[in-house]
C-alpha cells in the first residue's frame, strides 16, 4: 500500500473545534496540515493562540481568503461562523477539493434554514451537501465532495434514535430529548455567560424548546425514517469542559423488554467501531468517552408504560465535531474509517 499524503487546510483554526482538528490531524498518518486561518489572530503562530500545541504545530495563521488557498490543498475543514462558511465554501467548491463544513450552513434544507438562520447564500450547494453522520450515511459520504458535519446535539440524538425509528419501534411524535452539554460547545469567544464564575457550581437550561439544533434533529430523523418526526428538545449547560449526555424519552409501539431494545441497537451498529451499546442495567458517563470518537448508548424499557429511556454520550468536540469530521474524511478518501482516530478516552 502506498501511503497517501493529503494536504489539509483548517479554516477557523483558533476556536475549540479548530484546536481539536489540529490535535487529531497532526497524528493522522495520511494528513498534513499545511494551511490554517483565523481572523482575529492572523499573523500569529498556532502555538500562540493554543500554547498546548507548542512544538506540535507552529504554523502561522493566515487571514481567510478563499483565493489564497494553496493549490495543493486536498481537503478543507471549515470551522467558521455560519453565513461566512457558505460564502467561502461556494468559492472553494469550484476546485477539486474535499470539503467538510463543521458549521451549520449545509445541515438544513432550504425551508428550515431560512426559518432559523435567514436566507441561504447558495441553495444549489445545499442540495449537493451530504449530512455527515458517518454510521448512517456512509455510502453518500463516500461519493460526495461536500460534507455538512452534524451538530453535537444532533449527533448524540440521531445515532440512538434513527434505528429505533426506522424499525417502527418508537412513536415519532413522542420524542423528548433532554440534553446536557459541556461548555466548549458554546465556543471560545468570551462572554459573561461563559465567565468561569457564572458557570462553575451552576447548572441551567437554555433556549428551552427553541434551540437551532431542534430542526436539524427533526429533519434528519424524518429523512432517515421516512416519518414526520417531531421533538421537544431542551439543552442544558454542565460546568465541565467537554461532553454531551442526552436523556431521551420515547413512547414505544408496544411493550418491549430492555434486552430486545439493546439487541436491536447492537444489531444495527454491528461493526461500527465508534458506537458502543451498553448491556442491560449499564448507562454511560460523559467521562467514559472524553477525548474519544465514541458514542456510547444505554437504554431501558418501561414496558408497563410502553416507554423507554435512552442515554447517549459523546465528546462534543470529537464525535460531535472534529472527530466525526475526520471520520468523514476517511470515508470520502476511502481510508479505513478509524484511521487517526485511535483516541482512547482520557480517564480521569
C-alpha cell of 223? 429523512
Please report, as residue ranges, which positions from 133 to 192 form the binding site for a copy of itself (by CB under 8 A).
176, 178, 180, 183-184, 188, 190-192
Q: How far apart are the first and last CA of the chain?
A: 38
User: Which residues, at least 6 apart from 24, have a Cβ–Cβ distance to it below 8 Å?
Assistant: 318, 322, 323, 326, 340, 341, 343
Return the range that interacts with a copy of itself (CB under 8 A); candidates 140-148, 154-162, 235-243, 327-335.
235-243
3-state SS class at 244: strand
Q: Which is nearer to a copy of itself, 55 or 334 (CB)?
A: 55
The reply to whether 197 belongs to the active site is: no
Taking CB under 8 A as the rule, does residue 347 contact a copy of itself? yes
Q: Which is nearer to a copy of itself, 127 or 195 (CB)?
A: 195
Using CB under 8 A, pick the residue from 120, 211, 290, 319 that binds a copy of itself: 290
Q: What whole-number distance in Å separates Cα of residue 141 and Cα of residue 229?
A: 23
Binding footprint of a copy of itself, residue count (CB under 8 A)? 76
Q: Which of 4, 27, 168, 226 binds a copy of itself (CB under 8 A)?
A: 27
When binding is defined by CB under 8 A, the residue of 309, 333, 338, 339 that contacts a copy of itself is 309
Closest contact distance (angstroms) between CB of 203 and a copy of itself is 4
Scanning 1-9, 161-169, 215-223, 290-298 for contacts with a copy of itself by CB under 8 A, the matching segment is 290-298
CB burial of 271-288 (b: ≥16 within 10 Å; e: otherwise) equals ebebbbbbeeeebbebeb
Interaction of residue 255 with a copy of itself, rule CB under 8 A: no
Write down the least CB distance from residue 179 to a copy of itself, Å: 10
Choose among 46, 48, 88, 81: nearest CA to 67.
88
Catalytic residue among 122, 152, 197, 272: 152
Q: 85: closest CA among 136, 10, 25, 140?
A: 10
259 binds a copy of itself (CB under 8 A): no
Q: Judged by CB under 8 A, does residue 345 bind a copy of itself?
A: yes
Would you count residue 127 as binding a copy of itself (CB under 8 A)? Answer: no
C-alpha cell at 225: 425514517
| Measured distance CA(97)–CA(90) in Å, rounded | 12
Residue 303 burial by CB count (10 A; 0-12/13-18/19+): exposed, middle or buried?
Answer: middle
* Min separation Cβ 97 and a copy of itself, Å: 26
With contacts defined by CB under 8 A, name the span among 78-86, 154-162, 163-171, 280-288 that binds a copy of itself: 280-288
Does 26 bind a copy of itself (CB under 8 A)? Our answer is: yes
**Cell 413512547 found at:** 251
39 near a copy of itself, judged by CB under 8 A: no
The answer to whether 208 contacts a copy of itself (rule: CB under 8 A) is: yes
Q: Is residue 55 close enough to count as binding a copy of itself by CB under 8 A? A: yes
Look at residues 45, 71, 72 and name the one whose alpha carbon lies nearest to residue 59: 45
Question: Closest separation between CB of residue 326 and a copy of itself, Å?
Answer: 13
> Which range, of 18-26, 106-114, 128-136, 217-225, touches a copy of itself by CB under 8 A?
18-26
Q: Is there a contact between 29 and 340 (Cβ–Cβ < 8 Å)?
A: yes
Question: What pairing do the DSSP bridges indicate for beta strands 244-251 and 307-314?
Answer: antiparallel
Q: What residues act catalytically?
A: 152
Amino acid at each position: 500500500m502506498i501511503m497517501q499524503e493529503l494536504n489539509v487546510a483548517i479554516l477557523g483554526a483558533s476556536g475549540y473545534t479548530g484546536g481539536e482538528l489540529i490535535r487529531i490531524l497532526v497524528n493522522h498518518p495520511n494528513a498534513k496540515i499545511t494551511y490554517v486561518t483565523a481572523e482575529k489572530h492572523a499573523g500569529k503562530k498556532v502555538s500562540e493562540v493554543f500554547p498546548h500545541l507548542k512544538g506540535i504545530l507552529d504554523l502561522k495563521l493566515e487571514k481567510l481568503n478563499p483565493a489564497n488557498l494553496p493549490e495543493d490543498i486536498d481537503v478543507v475543514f471549515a470551522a467558521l461562523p455560519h453565513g461566512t462558511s457558505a460564502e467561502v465554501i461556494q468559492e472553494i467548491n469550484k476546485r477539486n477539493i474535499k470539503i467538510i463544513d463543521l458549521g451549520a450552513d449545509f445541515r438544513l434544507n432550504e425551508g428550515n434554514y431560512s426559518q432559523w438562520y435567514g436566507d441561504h447564500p447558495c441553495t444549489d450547494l445545499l442540495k449537493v451537501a451530504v449530512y455527515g453522520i458517518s454510521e448512517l450515511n456512509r455510502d453518500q459520504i463516500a461519493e460526495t465532495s461536500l460534507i455538512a458535519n452534524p451538530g453535537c446535539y444532533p449527533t448524540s440524538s440521531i445515532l440512538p434514535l434513527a434505528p429505533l425509528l426506522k424499525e417502527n419501534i418508537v412513536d415519532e411524535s413522542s420524542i423528548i430529548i433532554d440534553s446536557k452539554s459541556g461548555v466548549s460547545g458554546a465556543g471560545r469567544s468570551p462572554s459573561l455567560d461563559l465567565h468561569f464564575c457564572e458557570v462553575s457550581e451552576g447548572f441551567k437550561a437554555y433556549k428551552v424548546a427553541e434551540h437551532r439544533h431542534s430542526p436539524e434533529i427533526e429533519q434528519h430523523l424524518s429523512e432517515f425514517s421516512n416519518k414526520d418526526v417531531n421533538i421537544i428538545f431542551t439543552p442544558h449547560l454542565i460546568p465541565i469542559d467537554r461532553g454531551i449526555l442526552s436523556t431521551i424519552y420515547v413512547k414505544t409501539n408496544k411493550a418491549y423488554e430492555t434486552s430486545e431494545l439493546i439487541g436491536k441497537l447492537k444489531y444495527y451498529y454491528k461493526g461500527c467501531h465508534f458506537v458502543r451499546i451498553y448491556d442491560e442495567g449499564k448507562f454511560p458517563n460523559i467521562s467514559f468517552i472524553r477525548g474519544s470518537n465514541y458514542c456510547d448508548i444505554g437504554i431501558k424499557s418501561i414496558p408497563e408504560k410502553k416507554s423507554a429511556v435512552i442515554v447517549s454520550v459523546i465528546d462534543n468536540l470529537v464525535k460531535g465535531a472534529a472527530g466525526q469530521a475526520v471520520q468523514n474524511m476517511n470515508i470520502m478518501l476511502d481510508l479505513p474509517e478509524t484511521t487517526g482516530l485511535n483516541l482512547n478516552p482520557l480517564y480521569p
